[in-house]
Amino acid sequence: MDPLTPDEIARYQRHILLPEVGGAGQQKLKAARVLVIGAGGLGAPVLQYLAAAGVGTIGIADDDRVSLSNLQRQVIHDTGTIGELKTQSAADAIARLNPHVRVIRFEERFSTETAARHLAGFNLVVDGSDNFDTRYAAADAAELARLPLVTGAVGRFDGSVTTLKPYEADANGTLNPGYRDLFPTRPPEGLIPACAETGIIGALTGVIGTLMAMEVIKLITGNGEPLIGRLLLYDGLAARFDTIRYRRKRARAAAE
């Protein structure tokens, strides 16, 4: 791993002071290559905190442009970037925040067809997309590529986050669950309306996106217990967190 420069040592001093991170952990962050799917409500805080933490290479996959209605929650963008590609707006914001971070832009939607190209060269994936097609594509592609995936979702006043490593086994030798063990099938079209139809409280995406960034940092540095086999739920109106455990389906485990 590349050594930290004097500027990086000063920038990440509060990380380095932590025994759980230290200089070695900060070097791991510098060497990490993380693909973030979506530069919207969830992607915004993920990108900001990963860049601030010193993740060395960040990929951004998004085909959308910044609109005025985004700015209530997509805080990596601002009024001056309306009309710009979100990948460009986010990359410029990251450059202002931390010039040590390299950004790779994919100005297209993540899909089954683009997955191989998008995942090449990355060692961790974050899914901050807002639709089930992309979530299933990301989960399937990350599992096939044997890459950890942190995925989150939000709606109105509540959200969730989990971490997936279905290609590995737990301490008992049982394969970890995948996204399809948690959500076996897509919900019927129209059952879960988009935020453009129902609204969403802006700060919620900050809560869930920051939790997703924390999961990424834990995975990179090897600290703590990632949310593998656990779905963390947040109810913003009640100010309550709950955790649901889920397992690999027996049929899938037996088949493999």
Question: What's residue 255's pLDDT?
Answer: 39
Measured in degrees and rounded to the nearest 5, phi and psi for residue 91 equal -60, -40
- Which residue, among 123, 129, 133, has the nearest Cα to 154 in the 3D structure? 129
For the record, the structure tokens of 183 come out as 């959500």
Torsion angle of C-alpha atoms 231, 232, 236, 240, degrees rounded to 10: 120
- Which residue, among 75, 231, 239, has the nearest Cα to 157 in the 3D structure? 239
Question: What's residue 243's pLDDT?
Answer: 97
High-pLDDT (> 90) share of the chain, %: 86
The mean pLDDT of 50-61, rounded to a whole number, is 98
- Which residue, among 143, 151, 132, has the nearest Cα to 43 in the 3D structure? 151
Question: What's residue 244's pLDDT?
Answer: 96
252 pLDDT higher than 70: no
CA triple 139-92-83, angle to 5 deg = 85
For the record, the structure tokens of 52 come out as 């601030």
Q: pTM value? A: 0.93
Which is more confidently placed, 45 or 252?
A: 45
- Distance, CA of 256 to CA of 236 (rounded, Å): 39
Q: What is the mean pLDDT of the chain?
A: 93
- Which residue, among 26, 33, 32, has the nearest Cα to 11 in the 3D structure? 26
For the record, the structure tokens of 229 come out as 């086999």
Count Cβ neighbours within 10 Å for each residue of 173-182 and write b for 16 or more, e otherwise: eebbbbbebb
Question: What's residue 194's pLDDT?
Answer: 61
Question: What's residue 186's pLDDT?
Answer: 78
CA triple 87-227-177, angle to 5 deg = 100
Confidence of residue 253 (pLDDT cuts 50, 70, 90): very low
pLDDT in tens, 165-199: 999 999 888 999 999 999 988 776 655 666 666 88
Question: What's residue 63's pLDDT?
Answer: 95
126 pLDDT higher than 90: yes
